[in-house]
């Protein structure tokens, strides 16, 4: 029996696109660039300048359309084959990068990622979150390996809307708490054990650098604090995702997010990572860890992340939350947790969070 573990290499800095020819030239010359509209406006010209005279050619740039779907993945894979490109570059946020990764996998081409926001770890993970044509979640599409290299341009990320960095930190905090919670009591193999330890880097650096990183992003300033936050959001979370069993990637916090988005208009109003951070507070109080919940609440308030249902205009009425509570305890993220969790436990924890 053979096990192979592949990591995504990365470069980070404010002139990081200058490294692209050195890293990518061994894979060929012809490149298909796939990106979101705003992402391409922020990074494409800078990338073109870096590639000038390098021997690498952007054969075509394609604007990613709204959601990562299997239809769009297949269409772009066919385009890549018809253009006879040697590699695919993905530029943008999570959905654009997931689409580019899927197209590269289907076309059997190497993928390189260029995140323009730090809201997710999509740039470094070996899966895509795929949606149906109606915008609802379809499935996870898993790959043998992540991108060959991730280029994180801090200047581009610093000029992106700060709300994405904020939400990315919320989601990253969730990775630490959910990984330790879901793995509690298990005898972990080397990979999952190492991944769980890396998850510590999803919380401690943000406690130290997160608030200042957010201030710097609001001022479009590249700084050490911003770099540490970006590395936590994109690299640390990505490594955990790559290394641990899927059982240890999510728990109560993510299940609460997927339950709350059942409420009409909720998903369009609140970013994924911010809601996951609220879910961590509920998870901590389900677990009777009030001291840590108080510490985390204070930190989330410094970041400006909502910490109550009240702040998110959601009623705490038990009947109103009936479907949310049911989805929370029956969702797939609850398949591997250290003890059974009931609707009553979640509801009591939600009320405690309101009163913290």
pLDDT for 113? 98
Q: Do 271 and 163 touch, CB atoms closer than 8 A?
A: yes
pLDDT for 66? 84
pLDDT for 2? 84
Dist. CA 229–CA 224, nearest whole Å: 9
Dist. CA 201–CA 205, nearest whole Å: 6
What three-state secondary structure class fits 281? Answer: helix
Dist. CA 233–CA 213, nearest whole Å: 12
Averages of pLDDT over runs of 10 residues in the chain (356 residues) are 88 96 97 96 96 95 92 96 98 95 97 96 93 82 94 97 97 97 96 96 97 98 98 97 92 95 92 96 98 98 98 97 96 94 98 96
Beta strands (DSSP E) in the chain are 9-13, 30-35, 57-63, 87-92, 111-115, 127-131, 137-142, 149-153
β partners of residue 140: 129
Q: Is the pTM of this model over 0.85?
A: yes
pLDDT for 133? 87
pLDDT for 139? 83
Encode pLDDT of 171-224 as tens digits.
Answer: 999 999 999 999 999 999 999 999 999 999 999 999 999 999 999 999 999 999
Taking alpha carbons only, the member of 114, 173, 107, 181 closest to residue 148 is 114
Q: Do 240 and 198 touch, CB atoms closer than 8 A?
A: yes
Q: What are phi and psi of 291, to 5 degrees?
A: -60, -45
> What letter would DSSP give residue 240?
H
Rounded to a whole number of angstroms, the CA Rg of the chain reads 20
pLDDT for 61? 97
pLDDT for 112? 98
Beta carbons within 10 angstroms of residue 304's beta carbon: 12
DSSP 62-85: EE--SS--HHHHHHHHHHHHHHT-
pLDDT for 143? 94
């Amino acid at each position: 029996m053979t096990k192979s573990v592949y990591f995504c290499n990365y470069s980070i800095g404010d002139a990081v696109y200058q490294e692209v020819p050195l890293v990518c030239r061994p894979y060929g010359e012809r490149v298909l660039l796939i990106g979101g509209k705003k992402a391409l406006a922020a990074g494409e010209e800078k990338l073109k300048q870096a590639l000038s005279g390098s021997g690498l050619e952007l054969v075509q740039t394609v604007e990613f359309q709204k959601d990562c779907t299997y239809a769009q993945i297949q269409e772009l894979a066919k385009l890549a084959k018809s253009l006879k490109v040697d590699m695919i570059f993905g530029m943008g946020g999570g959905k654009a990068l997931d689409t580019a990764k899927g197209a590269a996998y289907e076309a059997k081409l190497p993928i390189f990622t260029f995140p323009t926001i730090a809201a997710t770890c999509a740039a470094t993970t070996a899966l895509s979150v795929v949606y149906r044509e109606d915008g609802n979640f379809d499935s996870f599409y898993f790959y043998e390996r992540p991108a060959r290299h991730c280029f994180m341009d801090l200047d581009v990320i610093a000029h992106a809307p700060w709300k994405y960095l904020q939400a990315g930190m919320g989601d990253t905090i969730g990775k630490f708490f959910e990984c330790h919670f879901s793995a509690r009591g298990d005898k972990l193999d080397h990979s999952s054990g190492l991944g769980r330890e890396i998850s510590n880097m999803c919380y401690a650096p943000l406690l130290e650098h997160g608030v200042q990183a957010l201030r710097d992003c609001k001022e479009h300033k590249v700084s050490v604090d911003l770099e540490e936050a970006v590395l936590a959001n994109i690299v640390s979370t990505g490594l955990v995702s790559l290394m641990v069993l899927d059982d240890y990637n999510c728990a109560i916090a993510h299940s609460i997010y997927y339950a709350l988005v059942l409420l009409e208009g909720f998903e369009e109003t609140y970013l994924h990572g911010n809601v996951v951070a609220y879910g961590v507070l509920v998870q901590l109080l389900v677990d009777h860890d009030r001291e840590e919940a108080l510490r985390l609440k204070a930190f989330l308030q410094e970041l400006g992340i909502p910490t109550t249902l009240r702040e998110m205009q959601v009623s705490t009425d038990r009947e109103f939350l009936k479907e949310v509570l049911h989805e929370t305890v029956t969702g797939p993220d609850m398949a591997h947790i250290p003890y059974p969790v009931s609707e009553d436990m979640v509801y009591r924890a939600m009320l405690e969070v309101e009163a913290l």
